[in-house]
Amino acid sequence: MDISSKSIQLLLTGFLFISSIYSLTLKTEDVIFEEGDTIIVNCTYDKDGQEEILDRGIRWQKQTDDYFKDIALFSPPNGRGPFIVKGMQSLYSNRTELIAPNISLSAVLIVKHPLCGDQGLYRCWIEYYPWVSFNMHVQTSGSDVKFKSKPKIPEEFHFFPKELEENQSIILLCGANVGSPLGNIEIWKIPQYNNTPVLIQELNVTTNKTENCTEFINVNFTYNVTRDDNGAVFRCSSQNNLTQGPGPYKESPKMFVIYGPDKPVITLTPFKSFYFVGDYLTIQCTTDSNPPPVFTWKFHPHNKSLETVIKTSSDVSKLVYDTLKTTDSGTYSCTATNAATLNSVNVTSSVFLYVNHSEIGYQGCNQCGYLTVCQQYDGKTVCVTNKWIPIAIVFILISVSFAASSIVLIKNKSASQNDGGYQAHTEIVNTHVYSALQSHKPE
Ligand SMILES: *[C@@H]1O[C@H](CO)[C@@H](O)[C@H](O)[C@H]1NC(C)=O
Ligand SMILES: *[C@@H]1O[C@H](CO)[C@@H](O)[C@H](O)[C@H]1NC(C)=O
Ligand SMILES: *[C@@H]1O[C@H](CO)[C@@H](O)[C@H](O)[C@H]1NC(C)=O
Ligand SMILES: *[C@@H]1O[C@H](CO)[C@@H](O)[C@H](O)[C@H]1NC(C)=O
Ligand SMILES: *[C@@H]1O[C@H](CO)[C@@H](O)[C@H](O)[C@H]1NC(C)=O
Ligand SMILES: *[C@@H]1O[C@H](CO)[C@@H](O)[C@H](O)[C@H]1NC(C)=O
Ligand SMILES: *[C@@H]1O[C@H](CO)[C@@H](O)[C@H](O)[C@H]1NC(C)=O
Ligand SMILES: *[C@@H]1O[C@H](CO)[C@@H](O)[C@H](O)[C@H]1NC(C)=O
Ligand SMILES: *[C@@H]1O[C@H](CO)[C@@H](O)[C@H](O)[C@H]1NC(C)=O
Ligand SMILES: *[C@@H]1O[C@H](CO)[C@@H](O)[C@H](O)[C@H]1NC(C)=O
Ligand SMILES: *[C@@H]1O[C@H](CO)[C@@H](O)[C@H](O)[C@H]1NC(C)=O
Ligand SMILES: *[C@@H]1O[C@H](CO)[C@@H](O)[C@H](O)[C@H]1NC(C)=O
């Protein structure tokens, strides 16, 4: 206990003693400068009354390679004036201001119109006697000087050619001031139906310019286009370590990629193994092409070796049949053409269609009685009751009843006329009788 507490006491006094003899403190700060700024490296020291700094014992140095070279020497207040060391005069004299410590204990190096090479690690170096009887001691403190500059929007960005066919290549040119540090240019592609940019090229700064810290990067990039790139927009962005993600950018106009037509695909709707007279059918031709394809239909009737007809329809991609006939049998060819590539080989697809007479259907039709109608569909025969038959029956019945009633009426009419005559006759007879009676009465 005793020993250890004593040793701690010793250590503490020793530490206090040492720290009191080396109590001079330096304060420097890192500097980030931008375009148009001046670099100000400021070394502020604090010392106690015992400590003595020699005349020209304060220096600003800069790291070159592995060691620090003096730039300027300063004296404590009331000492000799500050100056730039001989070897550095050509580099600094014209654009450097030195402020020696006065009341404010700061040795300041001000570099105007900084160059890119002014970046780097600077060091404030102070040589002093900590205590009258002690040896010289040196205290240092560093200032990291860095240039920063925001990336600028690309000055030029374009690609050529503007129109091209798939699998050909375009050249993208982008030039931008990417600022500093660690600037780069990125080329992005934004697909037509998806707004997420896709990074396709990145070009980093490879050399440091000495005269101007801002980096200007030119990209000359060759890109092979696919048909999916049709309608895509390219973007060139300029960024550096100061930007979070992509920096300011410029976009290209939309790219137009000519492609196709591919070999057309012919679809039959409904799709069946056999088609029969009376079926409906849509024959459709589809293919992928940009600009959109132009279709031409050709029909070669079955059994007629020479005749070929060009079929037209309002929707050129389709041929529509409401009721197939046997004469619709034959080969249908669809040719797709791309207006932009007329000289390339036209692509054609064909389909053979045979429209059957249904044998079963004809036999079946004989089975349909007089009150049913024979309908053929899908090779089957259906005897459908004719909806006009009941109506006809009703009409016939109405007509018959009308005729019958007319006959009855006519018969009645003629019958009543005969009866009238008889009555008249009887009346006459009766009158006659009566008169006879009467004539008899007076008698
Ligand atoms: C240097 O730094 C000190 C302490 O921070 C400050 O008081 C002084 O004004 C600075 N000098 C210059 C020229 O900036
Ligand atoms: C200092 O600047 C003057 C004019 O601005 C120029 O003529 C001279 O060469 C420069 N000196 C050095 C050492 O750069
Ligand atoms: C100390 O230096 C600063 C900076 O140059 C100056 O503004 C100030 O007047 C000086 N003070 C004295 C007492 O010389
Ligand atoms: C373009 O390349 C794709 C994939 O290699 C190929 O399928 C297509 O036929 C090519 N197109 C042309 C016009 O050469
Ligand atoms: C460019 O720099 C970034 C970040 O330092 C790095 O991730 C990338 O691989 C570099 N690209 C090239 C092509 O050098
Ligand atoms: C560019 O400058 C920075 C800072 O001065 C340095 O660290 C880096 O190594 C330099 N790069 C090249 C390629 O010279
Ligand atoms: C330095 O940068 C500025 C601003 O971007 C530019 O106007 C100037 O031309 C550049 N100087 C050199 C030598 O590149
Ligand atoms: C881009 O590069 C190609 C080949 O690499 C070259 O023919 C063309 O002239 C370059 N264009 C520019 C503007 O540098
Ligand atoms: C682009 O196409 C050319 C030839 O057409 C080929 O040599 C090159 O490798 C392709 N580039 C890429 C990135 O696919
Ligand atoms: C780049 O930025 C990151 C954080 O934003 C930082 O950690 C890194 O040190 C920076 N690099 C340089 C060379 O400035
Ligand atoms: C027409 O085709 C049918 C069957 O395919 C065949 O039986 C008939 O002989 C052909 N008629 C002619 C004139 O070629
Ligand atoms: C392709 O079809 C178009 C239109 O029918 C025609 O003008 C062109 O000559 C055809 N091209 C070839 C190579 O047959």
Among protein residues, the one with the nearest Cα to ligand 9's atom 14 is 224
- Going from N- to C-terminal start, the domains of the chain cover 21-147, 156-258, 265-356
Could you tell which of 29, 43, 45, 106 is best to mutate to test the pocket of ligand 1, judged by most ligand atoms within 8 Å of the CB?
Answer: 106
Q: Does residue 169's CB lie within 6 angstroms of at least one atom of ligand 9?
A: yes
Angle, CA of 205, 208 and 214, to the nearest 5°: 75
String of DSSP letters for 170-222:
EEEEEEEEEEBSS-EEEEEEE-TT----EEEEEEE--S--SS-SSEEEEEEEE
Query: From ligand 1's centre to the CA of 167, what distance in Å?
Result: 64
Angle, CA of 81, 114 and 180, to the nearest 5°: 145
Among protein residues, the one with the nearest Cα to ligand 6's atom 3 is 208
Q: Between 346 and 101, where is the model more confident?
A: 101
- 419-428 pLDDT per residue, tens: 443 333 333 3
Q: Show the tokens assigned to 55.
A: 């005349």
Query: From ligand 4's centre to the CA of 342, what distance in Å?
Result: 18
Query: From ligand 9's centre to the CA of 58, what distance in Å?
Result: 62
Question: Which pLDDT band holds residue 366 (cuts at 50, 70, 90)?
Answer: low
- Inform me whether the pLDDT recorded for 146 exceeds 80: yes
pLDDT at 89: 92
CATH H-level superfamily of 265-356? Immunoglobulins (2.60.40.10)
SS3 406: helix
- Inform me whether the pLDDT recorded for 431 exceeds 90: no
CATH of 156-258, one of 2.60.40.10, 1.10.357.10, 3.90.220.20, 2.60.120.1600: 2.60.40.10
What percent of the chain has pLDDT above 90?
45
Average pLDDT, the chain: 81
Q: Between 306 and 435, where is the model more confident?
A: 306
Which letter does DSSP use for residue 2 in this model? H
Question: Which pLDDT band holds residue 384 (cuts at 50, 70, 90)?
Answer: low
- 157-172 pLDDT per residue, tens: 999 898 899 999 999 9
Query: From ligand 12's centre to the CA of 346, what distance in Å?
Result: 6
CATH of 21-147, one of 3.30.565.10, 2.30.30.40, 3.30.1380.10, 2.60.40.10: 2.60.40.10
- 26-83 pLDDT per residue, tens: 999 999 998 888 999 999 999 888 888 989 999 999 999 889 999 999 999 988 999 9
Among protein residues, the one with the nearest Cα to ligand 10's atom 10 is 241
- 208-228 pLDDT per residue, tens: 554 667 788 889 999 999 999
- Inform me whether the pLDDT recorded for 92 exceeds 80: yes
Q: What is the mean pLDDT of residues 368-387?
A: 63
Q: Evaluate if pTM is beyond 0.75.
A: no
Query: From ligand 3's centre to the CA of 39, what distance in Å?
Result: 19
CA distance 96 to 194: 55
Q: Which ligand is nearest to the CA of 144?
A: 6
String of DSSP letters for 17-80:
HHHHHT--EEE---EEE-TT--EEEEEEEE--TT-EEEEEEEEEEEEETTEEEEEEEE-STTSP
pLDDT at 216: 86
Q: Between 367 and 248, where is the model more confident?
A: 248
Could you tell which of 342, 345, 347, 348 is best to mutate to test the pocket of ligand 12, judged by most ligand atoms within 8 Å of the CB?
Answer: 342
Query: From ligand 12's centre to the CA of 294, what distance in Å?
Result: 11
CA distance 137 to 57: 11
Could you tell which of 241, 242, 244 is best to mutate to test the pocket of ligand 10, judged by most ligand atoms within 8 Å of the CB?
Answer: 241
pLDDT at 421: 37
